[in-house]
A and B are shown apart, each in its own frame.
Chain A
């Protein structure tokens, strides 16, 4: 297992190199240029030209990429954000916990509801509930995240005033944030009101963000359960006289969870990109809203650093998922 993990970690190097090339050239293919962005809309063409010359922004892109790689890898410096003029690393450090917290909340919502619903639908295959769940999941997959976010916000925040519409916490509160994960911070500092406040700010964005993974997890769980419950070993278990609950728990659910765990891993990665729209609608100060602003501002360092960082996270999440197979199913061995 250890060798497998080390090998996968070493694979990170070529993957990240490839990702960095893609990101660098993609970002530079975007319209606009960092000189204009940096100097603002009042900059004269002469000033923009001077700036490009001074900082080598008019040199061939491959040379600029080599410079970028040197600074990023050798110095470990992701650069300075053009729009905020703070280091990209400090922006990531500040914003990543927000996105992780949101993605985690969305995944709890998706798994917490999608898994039991999918299992329940499979157990009642062909029934009314099964059909309803299929229709529901189709709707869940079809509704764009931002649209659902706007609808949820309109009803729960603007019309009924039951949940907040923006931010991560009550703006009047002065809570301590030792970890940057606000729910956890409330627990660590024993400020339960702060935790509850952070949870309330997470509810609507998490539902919006988690709607698609919920639908997918529900469908995969249902299909996987249907497959597994017709397997020979399940029939054998039943024939042995085990109670239906024990059969479901020990044999059906555990085996059905294998493909579901893959989907959960992939969806967790995708949540990070889905967060762009959700965070914008709810003014949630995470990586998503930051990257969205970076695109609008031609903030190359922020885009490059932010996306590279998310790529690393995505790869690591998938590694964790692969490792989790072995825990869920002891028959799987890595060498």
Chain B
């Protein structure tokens, strides 16, 4: 009786279940890719599609397909090459920049790219008021240009920009208030990309509000009408799902091979990798180093390497009563860190030992800096002749719950460093905190012990973006004043002559590594994962991805 009942139920369920399974299998076979459409995964949605209002890599990855600046970086390098400007000249004691603009270029809305459009963009940034003066809205503008025409926020510095003048339709003259070595290289940042004045006016690009301290764009430009001159143009954005860009058939340069790119947010590292394996995406950014083995071991997949443009380092924090005020202790730290071993064992073949605070690909790097190979005996000797005898106790902080491009496995880095320091006469007291939201603010405000692990990825191809950020002014993270280092970095910043700048930065690197405000230990090569059939996908050192030449198969 019971058996009959069960069999009856099973008989009744069998057919529908089988039908469902057949339908499931039949309709899900195959992947997302089709010829001409590349599906790419990042970690999150862009914030806005107006590049002037964002400072995060997820937004820039999308905007840089649509927008171009006066100059750009040669794909895959940090060399500055012409883009919407074909040539430029510096005069007026380093304060006057004349740009000759590319002719025959049109924005995606069909309006012409010309001198008036270029000056409109410069003036837009300079004249921002209200919510736009909030640093969360215009971080890169403020970092590079200082203040605005009328500074409404306390502590904003005087503006670097003075005026933009058109000369005919294809030449502009930008006048600065002071000479700056950073103005020109920073033009490659997406925040200074050129946008269509017509579209910006029409769709309210300059409408915004501040709510509880958070900047919010209220026009539709930043969501639905971004209009640039780039090889791809905007098609649609479904927040939380995807951004669709289509080929710009009227692009002035080499036209894109792909018909369409879809950039979708997948925040979980593992989920991105698995989506590549299932064929739901064709490529993804931010591949964790530990997955590189899995990518190169799969015959359908490959690793796309991003040139190293970062530095991981150990901060040495000085301050009242700190043992680190003694140069001999700092030297002992440098000799006591087994950097070669850490890079070899925990960078999965993607790292190089760093000897200074800027990557070798950037001008100003020099091989003449003082080097500190691992030498525990020398470290102990230095300690015994210092103010902190063996065993010298140090508080050493490291971050948890994070993997950074320049520091894939902080905990293991720390463990290895702690062991090598202990072998070099130090007594290490370990401290840790979650990267977000605790660790980074602690490091920045200088409350993360005597030593801590941290790093930096460059935004643009200028040494000031590394050395200047760390050492040009008093930095609570390091906790010292060194007038000589600060002086030379400020001179380098304001030196318009390139050859002289190179020398100044080389000198600065030598001085810094002698003074030892920290110990740089690795330059890492971040990676992207992609299907093998995806070709010419170029990862730029500063964090972007070039889709312009990408496609499926040869060409």
A contact residues vs B (CB 8 Å cutoff): 30-48, 50-51, 54-55, 57, 71, 77, 79-87, 94-95, 98, 124, 127, 129, 150, 153-154, 157-158, 161-172, 174, 196-197, 200, 203, 280-283, 285, 289, 293, 296-298, 301
Do residues A167 and B241 form an inter-chain contact, with CB atoms below 8 A?
yes
Q: Which A residues touch B241, using CB under 8 A?
A: 167-169, 171, 285
Q: Which B residues touch A129, using CB under 8 A?
A: 6
15 sampled A-B residue pairs with Cβ under 8 A: A42-B55, A43-B444, A98-B240, A127-B2, A161-B28, A163-B28, A165-B274, A167-B264, A171-B281, A196-B23, A196-B27, A283-B267, A293-B44, A296-B436, A301-B212
- Considering the chains assembled together, what is the distance between the CA atoms of A297 and B37 in angstroms? 32
**Total contacts A-B at CB 8 Å:** 172
- Considering the chains assembled together, what is the distance between the CA atoms of A157 and B217 in angstroms? 39
Most buried by A among B28, B56, B136, B215: B28
Most buried by B among A40, A95, A203: A40
8 Å CB contact of A45 from B2, B212, B262, B444: B444
Do residues B240 and A95 form an inter-chain contact, with CB atoms below 8 A?
yes
- Considering the chains assembled together, what is the distance between the CA atoms of A84 and B48 in angstroms? 8
Give the 4 A-B CB pairs with smallest separation, nearest first.
Answer: A32-B437, A55-B213, A285-B240, A80-B211
Do residues A165 and B29 form an inter-chain contact, with CB atoms below 8 A?
no
Do residues A86 and B212 form an inter-chain contact, with CB atoms below 8 A?
no
- Nearest CB to that of B266 among chain A residues? A283
B contact residues vs A (CB 8 Å cutoff): 2, 6, 23-25, 27-29, 32, 34, 37, 39, 44-45, 47-48, 55-56, 135-136, 139, 153-155, 211-217, 236, 239-242, 262, 264-268, 270-271, 274-275, 277-281, 433-434, 436-438, 440-441, 444-446, 476
Do residues B28 and A200 form an inter-chain contact, with CB atoms below 8 A?
yes
- Considering the chains assembled together, what is the distance between the CA atoms of A81 and B438 in angstroms? 20
- Nearest CB to that of A31 among chain B residues? B438
B85–chain A nearest beta-carbon distance, Å: 28
- Considering the chains assembled together, what is the distance between the CA atoms of A87 and B210 in angstroms? 11
Do residues A40 and B56 form an inter-chain contact, with CB atoms below 8 A?
yes
Do residues B240 and A94 form an inter-chain contact, with CB atoms below 8 A?
yes
Do residues B264 and A171 form an inter-chain contact, with CB atoms below 8 A?
yes
A285–chain B nearest beta-carbon distance, Å: 4
8 Å CB contact of A85 from B2, B155, B217: B217
Do residues A157 and B278 form an inter-chain contact, with CB atoms below 8 A?
yes
Q: Which B residues touch A31, using CB under 8 A?
A: 433-434, 437-438
Do residues B211 and A165 form an inter-chain contact, with CB atoms below 8 A?
no
B293–chain A nearest beta-carbon distance, Å: 17
8 Å CB contact of A301 from B214, B266, B434: B214
Do residues B25 and A162 form an inter-chain contact, with CB atoms below 8 A?
yes
- Nearest CB to that of B33 among chain A residues? A172
8 Å CB contact of A32 from B55, B267, B438, B446: B438
Q: Which B residues touch A293, using CB under 8 A?
A: 44, 267
- Nearest CB to that of B435 among chain A residues? A41
Besides A54-B153, A171-B242, 12 new A-B residue pairs in contact (Cβ under 8 A), listed by A number: A40-B139, A41-B444, A45-B445, A81-B214, A82-B214, A84-B47, A85-B136, A161-B28, A161-B279, A166-B271, A167-B241, A167-B280
Q: Which A residues touch B437, using CB under 8 A?
A: 30-33, 36-37, 297-298
- Nearest CB to that of B401 among chain A residues? A296
Do residues B24 and A79 form an inter-chain contact, with CB atoms below 8 A?
no
A183–chain B nearest beta-carbon distance, Å: 15
Given known contacts A158-B277, A171-B32, A32 and B45 CB-to-CB distance under 8 angstroms: no
Q: Which A residues touch B262, using CB under 8 A?
A: 171-172
Q: Which A residues touch B436, using CB under 8 A?
A: 32, 37, 296-298
Do residues A281 and B268 form an inter-chain contact, with CB atoms below 8 A?
yes
Q: Which A residues touch B444, using CB under 8 A?
A: 41, 43-45, 48
- Considering the chains assembled together, what is the distance between the CA atoms of A55 and B215 in angstroms? 12
8 Å CB contact of B216 from A50, A85, A280: A85
8 Å CB contact of B213 from A46, A57, A172: A57
Do residues A51 and B135 form an inter-chain contact, with CB atoms below 8 A?
yes
Q: Which B residues touch A94, using CB under 8 A?
A: 239-240
Q: Which A residues touch B240, using CB under 8 A?
A: 94-95, 98, 285
Given known contacts A31-B437, A38-B136, A55-B212, A124 and B280 CB-to-CB distance under 8 angstroms: no
A294–chain B nearest beta-carbon distance, Å: 11
A103–chain B nearest beta-carbon distance, Å: 17
- Considering the chains assembled together, what is the distance between the CA atoms of A81 and B47 in angstroms? 11
- Considering the chains assembled together, what is the distance between the CA atoms of A283 and B440 in angstroms? 27
Do residues A85 and B275 form an inter-chain contact, with CB atoms below 8 A?
no
Do residues A40 and B55 form an inter-chain contact, with CB atoms below 8 A?
yes
Q: Which B residues touch A172, using CB under 8 A?
A: 32, 34, 37, 39, 262
Do residues A50 and B280 form an inter-chain contact, with CB atoms below 8 A?
no
Q: Which A residues touch B48, using CB under 8 A?
A: 85
Q: Which B residues touch A48, using CB under 8 A?
A: 441, 444-445
Q: Which B residues touch A289, using CB under 8 A?
A: 267
Q: Which A residues touch B433, using CB under 8 A?
A: 31
Most buried by B among A46, A87, A150, A161: A161
A35–chain B nearest beta-carbon distance, Å: 8
- Nearest CB to that of B208 among chain A residues? A85
B295–chain A nearest beta-carbon distance, Å: 14
A306–chain B nearest beta-carbon distance, Å: 14
B282–chain A nearest beta-carbon distance, Å: 11
- Considering the chains assembled together, what is the distance between the CA atoms of A203 and B215 in angstroms? 38
B375–chain A nearest beta-carbon distance, Å: 33
- Considering the chains assembled together, what is the distance between the CA atoms of A6 and B44 in angstroms? 42
A200–chain B nearest beta-carbon distance, Å: 6
Do residues B216 and A281 form an inter-chain contact, with CB atoms below 8 A?
no
- Considering the chains assembled together, what is the distance between the CA atoms of A197 and B242 in angstroms? 16
Do residues A282 and B215 form an inter-chain contact, with CB atoms below 8 A?
no
Given known contacts A94-B239, A301-B212, A85 and B47 CB-to-CB distance under 8 angstroms: yes
B250–chain A nearest beta-carbon distance, Å: 23
Q: Which B residues touch A37, using CB under 8 A?
A: 436-437
Do residues A50 and B214 form an inter-chain contact, with CB atoms below 8 A?
no
- Nearest CB to that of A47 among chain B residues? B135
B265–chain A nearest beta-carbon distance, Å: 8
- Nearest CB to that of B209 among chain A residues? A80
8 Å CB contact of B268 from A43, A57, A280: A280
Do residues B239 and A164 form an inter-chain contact, with CB atoms below 8 A?
no
- Nearest CB to that of B469 among chain A residues? A42
- Considering the chains assembled together, what is the distance between the CA atoms of A47 and B473 in angstroms? 14
- Considering the chains assembled together, what is the distance between the CA atoms of A158 and B272 in angstroms? 12
Do residues B280 and A164 form an inter-chain contact, with CB atoms below 8 A?
yes
8 Å CB contact of A166 from B155, B266, B476: B266
8 Å CB contact of B440 from A41, A47, A161: A41
- Considering the chains assembled together, what is the distance between the CA atoms of A161 and B236 in angstroms? 28
8 Å CB contact of B441 from A32, A80, A163, A301: A32
Q: Which B residues touch A42, using CB under 8 A?
A: 55, 139
Do residues A80 and B39 form an inter-chain contact, with CB atoms below 8 A?
no
Do residues A163 and B239 form an inter-chain contact, with CB atoms below 8 A?
no
- Considering the chains assembled together, what is the distance between the CA atoms of A124 and B2 in angstroms? 8
Q: Which B residues touch A285, using CB under 8 A?
A: 240-241, 265
Do residues A77 and B211 form an inter-chain contact, with CB atoms below 8 A?
yes
Do residues A162 and B24 form an inter-chain contact, with CB atoms below 8 A?
yes
A326–chain B nearest beta-carbon distance, Å: 32
